[in-house]
Structure 1
Amino acid sequence: MKIVRLLTAAAIACGCWIPQAGASDEWVPVREVSLEVKAASPLDFSAFLPNGPIDAGHRLVAGAGGRLAYATSPEEPVRMFCASLAWSPASGGFPDHAGADRYARQLALRGYNIARLHFTDASLMHDRQKDFDFDPETLDRIHYLLAALKRNGIYWIIDGLSSSRGAYGGYDDRWEAGGDLKLRLHLDEEAFEHWKTLQEKFLAKINPYTGIAPIRDHALALIILANENGIEFDSVVHERPGKPHYDETLAAPFNRWLAKRYQTTDALARAWGELGDDERLAAGTVRLPTERYTDLARMRDLQAFFIETERASVARMSKVLRDLGYRGLISSYNNWPTVQTGLSRRELEAVTMNTYHDWVGGYAPGSALLQASSMENSANYMRMAAAARWFGKPFIVSEYDHLFWNRYRYEAGLVMPAYAALQGWDALCRHGHGPIVLAYGEPYPHKRAMLPYAIALDPVARAGETLAALIYRRGDVAESGIAVPFVVRGKQDLSEDMQAREPERLTDLALVGRIGLLQAVNSDGETEVGQPRPDGAWNVMKDLRSSGRLPQGNRTDIERGLYESDTGQLLLDRTSGQLRVSTPATEAAAFSSLRQPVDLGTLRIEQADGNALVALSAIDGGNALTKSRRLLLIFATDAQNTGMVFRDSEERIIEDFGSLPVLIRKGQVALALSRTAGTWRVSPIGLDGTVYPPVRAGTGAVTFRLSNDTPYGPTTYFLVELDDG
């Protein structure tokens, strides 16, 4: 039951929205207004996740094995926990100086050590009529924020281009995909010069608050040349009914590429097996495919053309940055995990990837999602990202989310950070306008209610980010000792299917050990996924078991949808909709149902009255759960806005997002710890870190039933304290 539902066809006919009887008893309004975490509170992780100085010795580089590391210690990988800063006027824009200081400090307290600035070009050009006429106040605020982040030990990732309008004046759709600049960057000299000038005027200009241009600052760890700028993806974004799938501006360069490869029309006809009577290489009249979903030899060659074009663009754009003095890492093509884009990414210095579960395309009434658990497809959004990695290069998830209003989104706080740690990924960034806000009630359109991509307002997403700081950045989940390369030969791996990607039947291996792409080499004795791709992962699993690389007793059973990591710390059960994590410092479970108790080691979940995330972590230094006296308990259910309205009973289609205050779904859970104590107590923690008086206490065995609806308001956090007898 929810706050408001459209219950019947009769209600639709009469235009009436009928509230669910009794629903208000199941949802409780959040009481906090300020969301600034108090220093030294249980939600302040800076004591054990400190951010150090950013200087020449601590510049981030591709270290041993292609892992992110500090310049002075390249043999020691570092994990970067990323804050997504994708502000716009609708979400309040960049903060003033005092706000930036408070915001950067809060990020550091919560465990973030890198931030991604996204759509800075759009913010700089908002309401500007002339090319490159940056808004001076916005530029000043960005410069000050960069300095504030650096002072707090937080590195930067910056897009060279986010908006398809770039820095052209006179546009009011800068956060939409209406422009063609991303495509023209590959084809048009004017577009390339525009991008180059943008880097010169923004990244290469002195920041008055640091005394150095961002492009030469040790804090700038990564530049994404242009966000989501693959040619195929851009054509999908611009696909419209009745319109050719591929822009006609591609025709001439494609013809030139074909002429260079085949030289004669007859040779092209033999290779394709089909060619129109009016198609001639010499005349440049060979047509683009009419649509992308028909598998043809023509489509295979179009992919090869895209690869060469995209690689050339990266080389050219990278040279611009190097000539401007940039020493950090460079990436591009950070989405679309197809075979073609994988080959385009092969030459990058670092690989970046965006991935989503239950993606939502907008905020307008009628926007829809599937309302499905990520367990139903064995965390496929994570596995797609894993299959885009290239071994030997830093791998950064530049965007991910399990989007609001999906009722299973508590899963994201366990699924992505746990498997990112298992895979040994270098940086993890949950996408949003910002990962935190300083207070509820800001007067901006995107701050008046929880929305997709607005994780800062969502107590469920915030609980997940809190857990991610522990299991990912702190390293509670261990990296897998297994690496299974997916062998890549080159363009001969292309098929006639433009949408071909690594098969899901094989990416299941990411739930057991590390996977990634690797250039074909003579790898006798190695367990690998070869070309052509096999029909399933059984032979790989058999080899891992027989070689002893997978421990005896590993419970993975692909047919049953049961996957245990080689470390023994992660267990995903697709049938029951559960992910369990058991490590020395954190134990957790995300479950869509709890038919029987879940024993995680120290923590046993006896009962729960609904789907939820439950996690227990040691927070007094490096102690394990078996010894720690202060434990952070996370209990996250669901949250909605007040007065949300849906068009259907399954709550897939939104009619009205409602407004603040945020409402948390009431839940109860029965827990037991395999520990005894002279005395123990369980105290609610407010969303701002305030510790309230205990709601449960006892002596001896630690066992209790807990509600997230406390006398001090609903929460997702509790402090468990144990004293020796």
Structure 2
Amino acid sequence: MRLLLAAAAIFLGCFMPPANASDQWVPVRDVSLEVQPGSPLDFSSFLPNGVIDADHRLVAGEGGRLAHAQSPKKPLRMLCSSLAWSPASGGFPDHEGAERYARQLALHGYNIARLHFTDASLMFGRQKDFDFDPETLDRIHYLLAALKRNGIYWIIDGLSSPRGAYGGHDDRWEANGDLKLRLHLDEEAFVHWKRLQETFLGRVNPYTGIAPIRDDALALVILANENGIEFDSVVHERPGEPAYEKALAAPFNRWLAKRYASTDQLAQAWGKLGDDERLETGTVRLPPDRYADSLRMRDLQAFFTELERASATRMSRSLRDLGYRGLISAYNNWPTIQTALSRRDVEAIAMNTYHDWVGGYAPGSALLQVSSIADGANYLRMIAAARWIGKPFIVSEYDHLFWNRYRYEAGLVMPAYASLQGWDVLCRHGHGPIVLAYGEPYPHKRAMLPYAIALDPVARAGETLAALLYRRGDVATSGLTVPFAVRGEDDLGEDMQAREPERLTELALTGGIGLVPADNIDDRVGVAQSRTQAAEEILTALRDSGSLSGINQTDTEAGLHESDTGQIRLDRRAGQLRVSTTATEAAAFSSLREPIDLGILRIEQADGDGLVALSAIDRHPSLAQSRRMLLIFATDAQNSGMIFRDSEEKVIEDFGSLPVLIRKGNVDLALKRRAKWKISPVGLDGTVYPPVRSGAGSIAFRLSNDTPYGPTTYFLLELEDG
């Protein structure tokens, strides 16, 4: 009886989302998602991908910005397609599928792709070390060639899976295995990693006639994904187990012995040692609790930094010995002071970041259901402060995760501020950014899931907007850069989680920020010399010096942030982000108490939260002149039959299934132009349907995303002389 009552309590505690009523959510009718050439969603005419050859290989150009080898003074913006396929998401496509997929990526505006977990795919089901599955290897080689033919460069992880190319494992996509840690400690692990590069990157691709490592299309190698020692230790931490692996104890003791002359000297530095701890016998213990601040922890961080820098140098040298000429990065997450020091020697900085992170797909997985605008885009600011100025900066992974109801914000927050910062690559993470159709028979494509943006109309609308704001360059790069002075090891403290404080990273919402060695910074105004400073103090100095306009409306205390370009305005308290440029005007809002005037576009009212954007997509990249404009209206989307354990929809019980449901919404819009006009729904594949609104003279209309042809996030606004 007790078990029955418990089961009943669980059942009664589960909620179908209240918004799943048929009058609020409507099913997507589209099946094919292949964008039609020449449609409003085909961006290849104004975002063309060129030939990839020696003259056009990507290099660190002037100021550390990515550029073509033949034109190093002309910075590029690379919109990245994340290809993190596994058997659960369908794996790598066959040749015909690869051709279609690569062409679709080009039509969508992608010009670089990141291949992630290729080692896991190659070794899936294999029992012997380095016994790559021949069909998977052939498919990867063909895909690389297809991407290159479509002008799409490559980013490849030297290692993604902690199982590497060892045979006999069936958990290659899980956080098991210790290869990432052993890379720093063990010669056999390094030899294994090196052989992996030789046997995959160093093997001739029969479809290009050249090994990937020597191919001009390979722009960046991330030596090993997320392989910082501290982060790896956190991932592998288990209840009741020591915080740090025993394998770290001996090398830590050897490092301490080089730094301190004796046990007594170490005791004076730390304050106290255990009775059984002796430097001379190598018995000094690792910190028992990583979250307890201590001088022991400070030295452990210094040890990790030295070890990680040496590892990256050694692995980089191996790639160069194999003939690689492209860029190299490492330690692409965990934006702490310690890891920033480990990254300072690598040629390019890559970082991963997430808003409202979700740990898995199992029932009981949870997120917070909070807005990224409400916290001032903190997930973006964290990685902005990890950038080393003067080096290319790559966002190798980011996402505002499903099923967070505010994820429409990501399509505006990340591309707008990535543009403002002058970042070089922007990669929204997922199994893949697109699919060719709904209904593929793979476990991870039967419903929208976290890290599966291709099936999500809201995420796809955001990626469409990113191609315009970021890659096309609608949002300008800041003319202001605030350097954060880095002294080196002296910046390490007793807290292993310490990072640049939020009161300083708020500066990223006004201008560019990044790290600079303290020795390279003069005494000019607008420098963060100390972590005790606040953004407002530096902004005042910049205004006083004339570096920032006196009319800039940034007021950190009021939660108001305006970019120095005047194009971006974030209002935490109102829950709004506004972008106003020549070619695009957009707003993401959780509330709309009064109209939003963006310049040409005015949002009069809406019946709920969402994203509205208007972009010129004809030969006149100006909303004041354009006759053909893409209108994006994104609300929320869920799977059919989703069940939550709580009324706030934080804890998932069942993800449900296709078809995807889009939340109905209405918005009243007006344009400060006069013309004969019509607005037509655009399907998720780019199909233009008959107009739903038209008029002459003043342009004003109520728009519903629930059209006679099914719900959509896209509309085409066309103007003629009236």
What TM-score do the two structures reach when normalised by structure 1? 0.98
Aligned residue for 2:416?
418
C-alpha offsets along residues 282-337 of structure 1, whole Å, 9 cap, x if unaligned?
10001000011111111110000000000000011011100000000000000000
In 1, the alpha carbon distance for the partners of 2:38 and 2:465 equals 17
2:697 equivalent to 1:694: no
Aligned residue for 1:208?
206
1:359 to 357, 360, 385: 357
Hey, which bits of structure 1, 4+ residues long, moved more than 4 A? 8-11, 13-22
C-alpha offsets along residues 493-547 of structure 1, whole Å, 9 cap, x if unaligned?
1001111000001100000000000011364453344443124122201111111
* Alpha-carbon contact 2:14-2:653 (below 8 Å) kept: no
Query: SS of the residue aligned with 1:72?
Result: coil
Deviation at 1:13, TM superposition (A): 5.9
In 2, the alpha carbon distance for the partners of 1:532 and 1:27 equals 51
C-alpha offsets along residues 605-624 of structure 1, whole Å, 9 cap, x if unaligned?
00100010000000002420
2:27 equivalent to 1:29: yes
* Alpha-carbon contact 2:630-2:717 (below 8 Å) kept: yes
What does residue range 122-521 of structure 1 map to in structure 2 within 5 Å?
Answer: 122-521=120-519
Deviation at 1:598, TM superposition (A): 0.1
What does residue range 623-642 of structure 1 map to in structure 2 within 5 Å?
Answer: 623-642=621-640
Rate the CA distance shift 1:525–1:22 in 2: closer, same or farther, 3 A.
Answer: closer
What does residue range 100-115 of structure 1 map to in structure 2 within 5 Å?
Answer: 100-115=98-113
Deviation at 1:266, TM superposition (A): 1.3
C-alpha offsets along residues 447-474 of structure 1, whole Å, 9 cap, x if unaligned?
0000000000000000000000000000
2:587 equivalent to 1:610: no
C-alpha offsets along residues 547-566 of structure 1, whole Å, 9 cap, x if unaligned?
11111211101000000000
* Alpha-carbon contact 1:434-1:455 (below 8 Å) kept: yes
Query: SS of the residue aligned with 1:354?
Result: strand
Between stretches 705-714 and 266-275, larger displacement belongs to 266-275
Rate the CA distance shift 1:472–1:619 in 2: closer, same or farther, 3 A.
Answer: same
Rate the CA distance shift 1:14–1:561 in 2: closer, same or farther, 3 A.
Answer: closer
In 2, the alpha carbon distance for the partners of 1:523 and 1:14 equals 61
In 1, the alpha carbon distance for the partners of 2:19 and 2:9 equals 15
Query: SS of the residue aligned with 1:572?
Result: strand
Deviation at 1:267, TM superposition (A): 1.2
Between stretches 262-271 and 696-705, larger displacement belongs to 262-271
Aligned residue for 1:5?
none
Rate the CA distance shift 1:339–1:117 in 2: closer, same or farther, 3 A.
Answer: same
Aligned residue for 1:4?
none
2:702 equivalent to 1:705: yes
Aligned residue for 1:3?
none
2:90 equivalent to 1:92: yes
Rate the CA distance shift 1:22–1:442 in 2: closer, same or farther, 3 A.
Answer: closer
2:678 equivalent to 1:681: yes
Deviation at 1:20, TM superposition (A): 4.5
One-letter amino acid matched to 1:566: D
What does residue range 23-102 of structure 1 map to in structure 2 within 5 Å?
Answer: 23-102=21-100
Unaligned runs of 5+ in 1: 1-7
* Alpha-carbon contact 2:82-2:113 (below 8 Å) kept: yes
In 1, the alpha carbon distance for the partners of 2:440 and 2:127 equals 28
Deviation at 1:22, TM superposition (A): 7.4
CA RMSD of aligned residues (A): 1.3
Rate the CA distance shift 1:278–1:376 in 2: closer, same or farther, 3 A.
Answer: same
In 2, the alpha carbon distance for the partners of 1:584 and 1:360 equals 37
Rate the CA distance shift 1:341–1:546 in 2: closer, same or farther, 3 A.
Answer: same
In 1, the alpha carbon distance for the partners of 2:15 and 2:523 equals 65
* Alpha-carbon contact 1:390-1:518 (below 8 Å) kept: yes
Query: SS of the residue aligned with 1:75?
Result: coil
C-alpha offsets along residues 109-131 of structure 1, whole Å, 9 cap, x if unaligned?
00000000000000000000000
One-letter amino acid matched to 1:694: P
Query: SS of the residue aligned with 2:22?
Result: helix
Deviation at 1:270, TM superposition (A): 1.1
Deviation at 1:263, TM superposition (A): 2.3
C-alpha offsets along residues 393-418 of structure 1, whole Å, 9 cap, x if unaligned?
00000000000000000000000000
In 2, the alpha carbon distance for the partners of 1:571 and 1:116 equals 31
2:571 equivalent to 1:577: no
Deviation at 1:19, TM superposition (A): 7.2
Between stretches 257-266 and 124-133, larger displacement belongs to 257-266
1:715 to 702, 706, 712: 712
Rate the CA distance shift 1:365–1:697 in 2: closer, same or farther, 3 A.
Answer: same
In 2, the alpha carbon distance for the partners of 1:562 and 1:290 equals 42
In 1, the alpha carbon distance for the partners of 2:10 and 2:484 equals 52
Rate the CA distance shift 1:289–1:705 in 2: closer, same or farther, 3 A.
Answer: same
Deviation at 1:264, TM superposition (A): 1.2
Deviation at 1:12, TM superposition (A): 3.8
Between stretches 592-601 and 524-533, larger displacement belongs to 524-533
Query: SS of the residue aligned with 1:295?
Result: coil
In 2, the alpha carbon distance for the partners of 1:15 and 1:399 equals 35
Aligned residue for 1:645?
643
* Alpha-carbon contact 2:17-2:642 (below 8 Å) kept: no
In 2, the alpha carbon distance for the partners of 1:559 and 1:15 equals 40
Deviation at 1:274, TM superposition (A): 1.2
The count of aligned residue pairs is 717
Aligned residue for 2:538?
540
One-letter amino acid matched to 1:164: P
Deviation at 1:9, TM superposition (A): 11
In 1, the alpha carbon distance for the partners of 2:45 and 2:542 equals 40
What TM-score do the two structures reach when normalised by structure 2? 0.98
One-letter amino acid matched to 2:691: P
In 2, the alpha carbon distance for the partners of 1:355 and 1:176 equals 19
Rate the CA distance shift 1:524–1:133 in 2: closer, same or farther, 3 A.
Answer: closer
In 2, the alpha carbon distance for the partners of 1:339 and 1:531 equals 15
Query: SS of the residue aligned with 1:73?
Result: coil
Rate the CA distance shift 1:574–1:21 in 2: closer, same or farther, 3 A.
Answer: closer
C-alpha offsets along residues 353-408 of structure 1, whole Å, 9 cap, x if unaligned?
00000000000000000000001210000000100100000000000000000000
* Alpha-carbon contact 2:56-2:69 (below 8 Å) kept: yes
* Alpha-carbon contact 2:421-2:477 (below 8 Å) kept: yes
Between stretches 277-286 and 507-516, larger displacement belongs to 277-286
Rate the CA distance shift 1:636–1:9 in 2: closer, same or farther, 3 A.
Answer: farther
Query: SS of the residue aligned with 2:639?
Result: strand
Deviation at 1:33, TM superposition (A): 0.5
In 2, the alpha carbon distance for the partners of 1:381 and 1:17 equals 30
* Alpha-carbon contact 1:63-1:75 (below 8 Å) kept: yes
In 2, the alpha carbon distance for the partners of 1:522 and 1:150 equals 39
Rate the CA distance shift 1:254–1:15 in 2: closer, same or farther, 3 A.
Answer: closer
Query: SS of the residue aligned with 1:229?
Result: coil
C-alpha offsets along residues 62-118 of structure 1, whole Å, 9 cap, x if unaligned?
011111000000011000000000000000000000000000000000000000000
